[in-house]
Structure 1
């Protein structure tokens, strides 16, 4: 079987992989939703869905630092990576052990393509097709819901010390646009650092979203943002909904609807 991953790398598989290592949390969740939990032999310490996965499967490190000895000892048939989550060095090191598939996600279409690829690789065509169909239904329904909602000038913060936001060329920015959140930092690539000093802040902001990951913004962090953005609504955002792809998208659009309704109820517009 010949498969191309999302970096257009060709993978030649003699048979369906039976022992899988996932180095990406959202892809771990997707594999389990495809019915492949029993095939997982290694995950990262950030793989939190399903809830007990780290107790049931060997943890092989994080997404940026891995234990190659441990990975090798698990005798995987395939290791699943992501261009953003994992470094080029990790991918190259894993390729010395077994087949490596790399995803590269910027849009929902990319996410659906990945689900289909996993369906092909692991012989889960039916399950993959069902997830894809349900996501398409959720997206279509949400587009009807959001159509007449106003566009809100928004910033999406992902990190503290230094403060960093989501910019263009990211999956987060794609979902912000879909939500009619006009990302004021879209002019910058990827994840730029920003100055929170009052002299530099954007005075037109209507919404500031503080993500729950990778930095875990909490209620206590809202005060400093409110001081710098006195006319904006400061909201704690579920980072998994804005940055996880795969089967997480089955839940994301209901969350987005509720987020928008909350902003409306707070009389933001």
Structure 2
């Protein structure tokens, strides 16, 4: 059964038959594969593919998202390798293309996420399972939009790294998710993940909320105290970074988390 499909870079992929041996170089996409019933087809993952946790014991780890062991990938004889434009480098994608078909995702919003899930459903003959997840995400979004509708817009900064301090800015999926939460990113004049200097400037006093992500840097309570000096009027919260940046089946859980976060922010502001 010949299969032809475009990935999210509009590259056309051709398969002579259903791809069965999968290497995933993106943690959120690995979780999605499991949730559409493809755990047994996964042969290789990254060291950051932590959901479900048992995969790291059962599957071959082929490196990280920025550095891979191409020899290990070759030895697994995959039918397809799954990448992401942001998480994997162009060099990784080019190296993997010498092994087999490479599907590259490119995610900026929920529509892109749902498209990716449906693409996996088509590629791996899991259309029913994909539709079930898409339907669940749409239901969660609908309920969340009703919940957030009359909530006030808050000014926010979302930190992802320390030494150097880095934030999520414009042209990121995280920024898109912040907007869904009516959290106005004060760093949208910058792009992607810029370094910033912690200095006392007037704009800092207008920030309502500082969000410290659990990934890629594992922020702790000690960092809350460190940042409070520079954002004196802000509520500072440790947040689950996977909920803000994982764009696969994790979205079925994310909006319940966002409701809880907003209620916590309200309570802390009282």
Tell whether 2:183 aligns with 1:181: yes
Q: Contact 1:201/1:228 (CA < 8 Å) preserved in 2?
A: no
Q: Contact 2:204/2:230 (CA < 8 Å) preserved in 1?
A: no
Change (3 A) 1:201 1:162: farther
The corresponding residue for 1:101 is 103
The corresponding residue for 1:80 is 82
Cα distance, 1:267 vs structure 2: 2.4
Cα distance, 1:187 vs structure 2: 1.3
Q: Contact 1:19/1:39 (CA < 8 Å) preserved in 2?
A: yes
Where does structure 1 lack aligned partners over 5 or more consecutive residues? Answer: none
Secondary structure of 1:42 counterpart: strand
Once superposed, which parts of structure 1, at least 4 consecutive aligned residues long, lie more than 6 Å away? none
Q: 1:65 is matched with which residue: 67, 72, 82? A: 67
Cα distance, 1:199 vs structure 2: 4.3
The corresponding residue for 2:204 is 202
The corresponding residue for 2:25 is 23
Moved more, 32-41 or 225-234: 225-234
Alignment map for 1:150-229 (pairs within 5 Å) = 150-199=152-201, 202-229=204-231
Q: Deviations over 1:191-218 (max 9, x none)?
A: 1111112247622100000000011111
* Alpha-carbon distance in 1 for matches of 2:165, 2:186: 15
Q: Contact 1:25/1:48 (CA < 8 Å) preserved in 2?
A: yes
Secondary structure of 2:229 counterpart: helix
What do you get for the CA RMSD once the two structures are aligned?
0.9
* Alpha-carbon distance in 1 for matches of 2:128, 2:146: 28
Structure-2-length-normalised TM-score: 0.98
Q: 2:263 is matched with which residue: 245, 261, 264? A: 261
Would you say how many aligned residue pairs link Structure 1 and Structure 2? 268
Q: Deviations over 1:75-97 (max 9, x none)?
A: 00000000000000000000000
Q: Deviations over 1:147-171 (max 9, x none)?
A: 0000000000001111110111100
Structure-1-length-normalised TM-score: 0.98
Cα distance, 1:179 vs structure 2: 0.0
Where does structure 2 lack aligned partners over 5 or more consecutive residues? Answer: none
Q: Contact 1:195/1:201 (CA < 8 Å) preserved in 2?
A: no
